[in-house]
Amino acid sequence: MKGNEAVGEAAVRAGCRYFFGYPITPQNEIPEYMSRRLPAVGGVFLQAESEVAAINMVYGAAGAGARVMTSSSGPGISLKSEGISYIAAAELPCVIVNMVRGGPGLGSIQPAQSDYFQATKGGGHGDYRLVVLAPASVQEMVDLVMDAFDVADEYRNPVMIMGDGILGQMMEPVEFKERPFSAPREKPWATTGANGRAANLINSLYIDPEVLEKHNLHLAEKYRTISGKEVRYEVVDPGDSEYFLVAYGTTSRICRSVMQKARETGIRAGLIRPITLWPFPYKALEEATRRAKGFLTVEMSCGQMVEDVRLAVCGRAPVRFYGRTGGMIPQPQAILEQLVSLVEGGV
Amino acid sequence: MKDVVMHYCPGCTHGIAHRLVGEVIDELGIAAKTIGISPVGCAVFAYNYFNVDFQQAAHGRAPAVATGIKRVLPDRVVFSYQGDGDLASIGTAEIVHAAARGEKITVVFINNAVYGMTSGQMAPTTLLGQVTTTTPGGRDPSRAGYPIRIAEMLATLDGAAYIARVSLHNPANVARARRAILKAFKVQMLDLGFSLVEVLSICPTNWGLAPQASLKWVEEMMIPTFTLGELKSPAEVG
């Protein structure tokens, strides 16, 4: 199944019945798939007039208690950032897919990972966090999309699936595993018409600074809970690794083959793959520093996640960065050369 | 309506407009299934006054939020309450496209020809020659363009089922405004399409006029630009 279509099918199987979106390459197969699929299961697909409108439709639908999704890419997510901030502030659950393309500006339609800062450090205004899940295969994209709806409902928080153009466009076999169907849970806070109960309010305005601070501290506490419980990562380590490649998504697949090549040349290489970009697996990296002689972070950007890697490693070992950007994909040989250079003492 | 003191400036007609919407909701007996959307601007706190479920929307985005709610809950009554800065400026795209799609929502659009909450800057509805804090010499069309007639503009769209402009400058017009708002809600309940009532309202604080003089200003200055009446009305609601 094509990655983008698999995202759509996974969402439907997770109980998502509402999709509001706006076309942008390279994620158009998601809204196209939803436009065919959702009406067949009694859901609603709506092509909004803009990304701004789409995310605010998501806000309304999520507030009304629905499982709802939107998808976009780079520049479109920038436009949605206003709404994402409001959704986070009003504590509404929803799933947002970003099939990242090259930027900044209009950039290109080729794959990139240069929206890492935007996804993990804000994007919109104010103190808020998204749970950001970064799949590395079409199968994992399916699994994570389904998990994303549960995580969003659990914490009443938007969850972002951060893929890239390659993952969206590639075809791989997928299995939609039998899993306990997590029916949309009771949402007594939703605005569905008061009908016998006190009126509900979905809001992000706290004009009294003391009250807003209290709300911000409440959100911060929630983000702390998420940081403690939702960290996901994969470590590929034969047990003797001295050097770790650190990469996520498509880049991690390239790094996996680099790791094998490195071992053929005698370099004891391992791989650490963050699956949640936020919360970031700081502890996994920190533990690796106990024996690691160095880290090589590889990204399709000019160096964004590497800042979190450096925070985790905290000077205990050299951290080198290698990236290609603008839609270019890091080649295994070039990564290997960087790794060799790190082993030979370069920092 | 909740029995609470409103935050609006003395003389402001938001209170009357709120009351009319509240009376209509009660008359139709729909409070238990109504969801309101408040804007950014003076009416942001509308949720404090209506005893129905409410969502607060980002500036201009209320029609998109209303769309999301209504598509999930098609048997509920969804209305947004928006000012002219919110609806006619930053939210122009959202209101035009909600109307074009024929979203079955009701919009109460308060036009007082000025940005109220941010303290009196030019709005898209500001009259030619009108002095605001950002048109200190009066609105000059060569620099600041012309006022937008939202009701006329939206009435051209096929998805718009009921479009009316009313005023609150005297009791007879308040009664007409009530009838228009009632009709707008009925249009939604009959699934006929998008409905909007533009309500000419006063802003004594930012106009720098006493309330009585403000009411007169609506009659003499605003109505010649913003003609009152029903621009579009389906036969089903008479």
Instruction: Write the ipTM.
Output: 0.97
- A-chain residues within 8 Å CB-CB of B61? 52-53, 56, 59, 83
**Residue A178: pLDDT band with limits 50, 70, 90:** confident
**pLDDT for the residue numbered B164:** 98
pLDDT of residue A277: 98
Q: Which residues have CB under 8 Å from A104's CB, separation 6+?
A: A114
- Give how far A35 is from chain B: nearest CA, Å: 15
Question: What is the tens place of the pLDDT at every residue in A43-92?
Answer: 999 999 999 999 999 999 999 999 999 999 999 999 999 999 999 999 99
* Confidence check: pLDDT of A182 > 80: no
Instruction: Please provide the average confidence, as pLDDT, over all residues in chain B.
Output: 97
Nearest CA to CA, how far is B64 from chain A (Å)?
Answer: 5
Are the CB atoms for A124 and A85 separated by under 8 Å?
yes
Q: Which residues pair with B82 in a beta bridge?
A: B109
Query: Quick count: other Cβ atoms within 10 Å of Cβ B124?
Result: 21
Local structure of B154: helix, strand or coil = helix
Residues from chain B that touch A193, judged by Cβ atoms under 8 A, are 32-35, 52-53, 73, 76
Shortest distance, CA B178 to any CA of chain A (angstroms): 23
Provide, as residue numbers in chain A, all residues whose Cβ is less than 8 Å from the Cβ of B102.
Answer: none
Which two tokens mark A21? Answer: 């979106």
Query: Span A300-316, mean pLDDT?
Result: 98
Q: Which two tokens stand for residue A187?
A: 């949402």
What would the pLDDT profile of A216-253 be if each residue is shown by its tens digit?
999 999 999 999 999 999 999 999 999 999 999 999 99
The answer on pLDDT for A179 being more than 80 is no
Q: Distance (Å, rounded) from C-alpha A282 to C-alpha A228? A: 11
Chain A residues lying within 8 Å of B32, measured CB to CB: 193-196
| 8 A C-beta contact, residue A233 and residue A286 | no
For A200, the closest of B31, B50, B53 (CB atoms) is B53
Nearest Cα neighbor of B107 from B127, B129, B86 is B86
How many A/B residue pairs have CB atoms within 8 Å? Answer: 129
**A62 part of contact set with chain B, CB < 8 Å:** yes
Q: Are strands A233-236 and A269-274 parallel, antiparallel or unpaired?
A: antiparallel
Q: How far is Cα A29 from Cα A336, in angstroms, rounded to an integer? A: 34
Listed residue (B18, B172, B198) closest to B109, CA to CA: B198
Q: Is the pLDDT of residue A347 over 60?
A: no
Residues B95 and B132: beta-carbon distance below 8 Å = no
C-beta separation of A61 from A82 below 8 A: no
Q: How confident is the model at residue A346 (pLDDT cuts 50, 70, 90)?
A: low
Tell me what the pLDDT averaged over chain A comes to: 96
| Percentage with pLDDT > 70 across chain B | 100
Give me the helices (H) in chain A, please. 3-13, 29-40, 51-63, 75-89, 116-120, 138-155, 165-169, 209-229, 249-264, 282-288, 305-313, 332-343
B135/B126 Cα distance (integer angstroms): 9
The answer to whether A3 and A137 are in contact (CB under 8 A) is no
Residue A227 forms contact with B (CB below 8 Å) = no
